[in-house]
Chains A and B, each alone.
Chain A
Amino acid sequence: MNWRKLMLGIVTILTLACGWIVANDGDRWPYAFKRGLDVQGGVHLVLQARPTREVPTITPDVRERAMAVVRARVDGLGVAEPLIQARGTDRVIVDLPGVADKDEALRVLGTTAVLSFRAHAADLASAPGAPPAPPSHVPDWVETGLTGGHVTHVSVEPEGAHWAVIADFNAEGAGKLGEVSRQLVGKPMAIFLDDRLISAPTVEQPLDTGNVRIFGDFTARQAHELEVVLEAGSLPVPLDVVENRAIDASLGAEAVQRSVLAGGVGAALVMGFMAAYYRLPGVVANVALVVYGLIVLAVFKLVPITITVPGIAGFVLSIGMAVDANVLIFERTKEELAGGRSLHAAIETGFKRAFSAILDSNVTTLLACGVLFQLGSGMIRGFALTLAIGVVASMFTAIGATRHILHAALAARPARGQALFGGPTKEVIR
């Protein structure tokens, strides 16, 4: 008997602890629920690496380098909890929850931003100091070999009505810059960004300072975005945006509110039914349901599990399913009582017999969750995870919490027997 009281005590303390965890939000432990993209709004991008002539296959190394650049760009955006993941062999997934300026994020992540310095072929071939080649009708800029890959640091400065971008080069780049500019004194050197000509100033003197000032009539915002992008480094291969989703925060907030309300109503209906049909054991099951809910929510908060709108639906669904374990136990207990066992013995046998059946019946749901987790994107995974955690937790609270609460409740009014379990009379097992 003492052991039973101990268990009941443990269950109570556990429940109170979970309740405290769920109720307390803040900057320190236990923090707040982690909210998904569809709840707080944000941007979701799927980037696919495109093979080029220089890089014909996307090896894991190439993809890793591309991801590093993406990460650096995202850092430049100042998003609180970005998520950057690899998918398949050549894709990168970027999630930016709560990003303030979605358009800016999309611009920064969507550009390839390959910076290159080009010159006319004729100018590169002619002697230093020779007059510039005559302008031709056909654009004939060729690479000088100096690219954004040689840039180590970028800063911006106001320049009259616009802004200029200053690029500092590494040792190799500085050397090359000096060499190229010496070759091109008096001739134009073109600065290209993504195959778009930004400017083509004439080189007045050799550039030995190791940096270049780029004027392109940039606004402050453009200069800043360019700074972020160039600082992050150039991508080894271009990344195509094959999927982009931007969701506003207002949509998510409303959906969450409604889902929570629906969950509350659903739980109330279930509890009402259980109490009406099973009477005292039904009330016990309801108490166990509250325990279950608090434990699961605390787990969501602590792991943390990212809360999405389908995830909330998964949790509400699991509330309906959590009762199933209790239903099974009660039905089995009724049968044991009808078979002539004493009340407490019937309960214990009911629990024992029910356990394998509960396990059995939840396996298929867990299988479906497993498949969904493999297949799905963030939202689907959110659902699969919350449902799976809910199902597993419901097995434990049914076996753990319900049993002890039931014993305790019946200890108070011992001799009620089968009538206590309510419901229509069942056929006796022959």
Chain B
Amino acid sequence: MNPLKFLAPARAALDLSAFDFMGRRKLWFGISAALLVPGLVAMLLSYLWLGAPLRLGIDFTGGTLAQLTFTQPVSAVELKEAIARRGFEGVQVQIADGRTALVRLRDLDLPQRQRLLDGVKADVGAFRADRFESVGPTVGRELLGGALGALAVTLLGIAGYVSLRYQLDFALCAIAALIHDVVFLVGTFALLGLTLGVEVDALFVTALLTVLGFSVHDTIVVYDRLRENMQRAGARESFDEVANRSIRQTMARSLNTSLTVMLTLGAMAVLGGEPVRWFTCAMLLGVAAGTYSSIFNASQLLSWWRMRGVTPRKA
């Protein structure tokens, strides 16, 4: 007795064994555009307002971020004044839940840190410093440079790997699908940065790179089968027909793998610890985007590229 039988009507409607993945490519590209455009707009707005396409956290900009949990409820104004009184300007205070305050200001050296904490204790009350992080501007800039460098190296490494295993046009389309995923993830977080004030830190870059590694492997699964089928098919079948078949054959594997990964990521995003909440959300979104692009973009791009006016070559 297959417990998944209740899904049968849905499965019949989306009869996967005859689904036309290639023919409906305009629809898929349209969906991609719909997903990417808001993100791109958000990135542009973010750049104009904040000076960067994402809301960058102190890891990249430098500065101080402190989370203080007081024994009594405390007001933002009170805390801000206490800090300003000690000679610190440009302080931002957010009260999370009555007692927990998030304080942001420029980077501080150790004596300054002590002065600030002593001042708050004297003027506002006793607290526990859950976290107190201060990053100098040079370190921040270096980390940002390092992050961008890592992204470039990973993309190049992947491009190199795919061109080694397959041909150049396969590699280019795989990278295009990957860039689609990167833009989606970055755009979404630009949007979150503008609306919810979500800041991007070193962990976000980690999520991005992990998603890249995972997403391209999903694409490779399809390409691997595509190449195998192209070798067997001969001249009588069009590329689109071979591609359709390849996608149908690998669909189960792609979807199942993505599903299991998303189940674990979903559990972490919902139930997991606070420090990694956005980190796991980013990976979840990235994996979803990666699966979508592997099935609905990668081969379609390849088909479009090949039929662009160039005579179709054998794999």
Contact = CB atoms under 8 A, between A and B. Distances in A.
Interface of A: 38, 46, 102-103, 106-107, 110, 240-248, 250-251, 254-259, 261-263, 265-267, 269-270, 273-274, 276-277, 279, 309-310, 313, 316-317, 319-321, 323-324, 327-328, 331, 357, 360-369, 371-372, 374-377, 379-380, 383-384, 387, 422-427, 429-430
B9 to A, nearest CB: 13
B128 A250 contact: yes
A363 B212 CA distance: 12
A263 B264 CA distance: 7
Contacts of B221: 357, 361
B311 interface: no
Contacts of B131: 245-248, 251
Given A106-B110, A263-B268, A364-B161, A427 B249 contact: yes
Given A265-B267, A313-B280, A379-B203, A362 B217 contact: yes
Query: How would you classify the secondary structure of chain B's contact residues: helix, strand, loop or mixed?
Result: helix
26 contacts: A103-B117, A106-B110, A246-B129, A255-B274, A262-B270, A262-B273, A267-B264, A273-B259, A276-B2, A309-B276, A310-B203, A321-B260, A323-B256, A360-B217, A362-B217, A364-B213, A364-B214, A365-B214, A367-B157, A367-B158, A371-B157, A375-B147, A375-B150, A383-B210, A426-B249, A427-B245
Most buried by B among A46, A102, A384, A429: A429
A46 B67 CA distance: 20
Given A256-B273, A277-B256, A323-B256, 13 more contacts: A245-B134, A251-B275, A266-B263, A269-B267, A279-B2, A313-B276, A316-B265, A316-B268, A320-B261, A323-B260, A328-B253, A371-B153, A424-B16
Interface stretch (B22-30, B32-40, B82-90, B135-143): B135-143
Given A357-B224, A360-B165, A376-B202, A242 B264 contact: no
B3 interface: yes
B263 A273 contact: yes
Contacts of B272: 255, 258-259, 262, 313
Contact of B271 (A102, A258, A357): A258
A262 B154 contact: no
Contacts of A248: 128-131
Contacts of A372: 150, 206, 209-210
Interface of B: 2-4, 11, 16-17, 67, 109-111, 113-114, 117, 128-136, 138-139, 146-147, 149-150, 153-154, 157-158, 161, 165, 202-203, 205-206, 209-210, 212-214, 216-218, 220-221, 224, 232, 245, 248-249, 252-253, 256-257, 259-268, 270-276, 279-280, 283
Most buried by A among B135, B217, B262: B217
A317 B264 contact: yes
A380 B208 CA distance: 12
A313 B4 CA distance: 29
B263 A365 contact: no
A107 B150 contact: no
